[in-house]
Copies of this chain bind each other. A is one copy, B any other.
Amino acid sequence: MSNEPVFAKVALIGIGLIGASMAHAARRAGAAGRIAGYSPSAEERALASRIGFADSLHDDLASCVQDADLVVLAAPVGAFAGIARTIAPALKAGTILSDVGSVKSAVLRDVSPHVPEGVHFVPAHPIAGTEQSGPGAGFAELFDNRWCILTPPDGADAAAVEKLKTFWQRLGSQVETMDAHHHDLVLAITSHVPHLIAYNIVGTADDLSAVTKSEVIKYSAGGFRDFTRIAASDPTMWRDVFLNNREAVLEVLGRFSEDLSALQRAIRWGDGDALFNLFTRTRAIRRGIIDAGQDMAAPNFGRNTK
């Protein structure tokens, strides 16, 4: 792969976990000539400055995106419409405008009306993250061997799509393209509903008066602790995901609840075969994920031997 920068200047609107990781990964690959980062928080800018992953840091959107060849919205998706409206006049012709939001139909809806003539809007979603947030949580390897999904709107500029694809590949990702509606359904099952369920079970545990919080914590190695990792993810980001992927999340949640009611009934009536058959079928999916390199094979995510 070439070592030339893909973009002379990349502007990151948001320097949390994803924005900071993009900066680290772009530097590692030499994929960006210059990196500008925006945050409204003085504390975040100071931290980013100490870590040093950006060439300039801005509290002003227009100065951050000035002359940028790639502008990436890396803030909670609920803020996208306002940001797009503000930066629109400052975008130069030929710029690629993209994002890293976890929902894509709503992003198209919110951002498209503000995209100036001559600017190429190509939404993207890197399927990677951790439960941590903020500029200090970023690291260069976050996207390695993970997938990044592009959802270019109808009539998107093919060269712009190709260039963004190259950029993400240089950051370590594999890249796939699909339409926004399908993306939102796929992510509802692979990410959004799992997060909702994790948040929910941790909340249920917190509310149980017959079991103390200390007991929940002490005996969490039985399975519960895995859910708490996911349920420690950024609250603002996830609030916006659920508010902006309502239809697909409610659809998948409806199926989940239906299936759970059937399991509940099998337990009540002692239908061991129904339980055994489901529990056997689910093992195959785990094997597929490990074979595809999307998770480690070591038991317990390698935690036990530590």
Decide: A286 and B218 in contact? CB cutoff 8 A: no
Decide: A279 and B199 in contact? CB cutoff 8 A: yes
Decide: A272 and B256 in contact? CB cutoff 8 A: no
Decide: A129 and B190 in contact? CB cutoff 8 A: no
Determine, out of A6-14, A86-94, A160-168, A298-306, the stretch whose residues face the partner at the interface.
A298-306
| Contact indicator per residue, chain A 243-280, by CB within 8 Å of chain B (1) or not (0) | 10010011011011101110110011010100110111
Q: Given A235-B279, A253-B264, 17 more contacts at CB 8 Å?
A: A149-B219, A189-B205, A190-B216, A190-B224, A200-B259, A208-B255, A225-B289, A225-B295, A228-B295, A231-B282, A231-B286, A232-B283, A239-B272, A239-B276, A243-B275, A246-B267, A253-B267
A243, A286, A294 interface centre (most CB from chain B within 10 Å):
A286
Decide: A130 and B299 in contact? CB cutoff 8 A: yes
Residues of B within 8 A of A261 (CB): 257
Decide: A129 and B195 in contact? CB cutoff 8 A: no
Let me know if A80 is at the binding interface, CB within 8 A. Answer: no
Decide: B176 and A294 in contact? CB cutoff 8 A: no
**Residues of chain A having any CB pair with chain B under 8 Å:** 78, 102, 127-132, 137, 139, 141-142, 146-147, 149, 176, 185-187, 189-208, 210-211, 213, 215-233, 235-236, 238-240, 242-243, 246, 249-250, 252-253, 255-257, 259-261, 263-264, 267-268, 270, 272, 275-276, 278-283, 285-289, 292, 294-296, 299-306
Q: Out of B132, B235, B243, which one reaches A280, CB within 8 Å? A: B235
Closest to A272 in B: B239
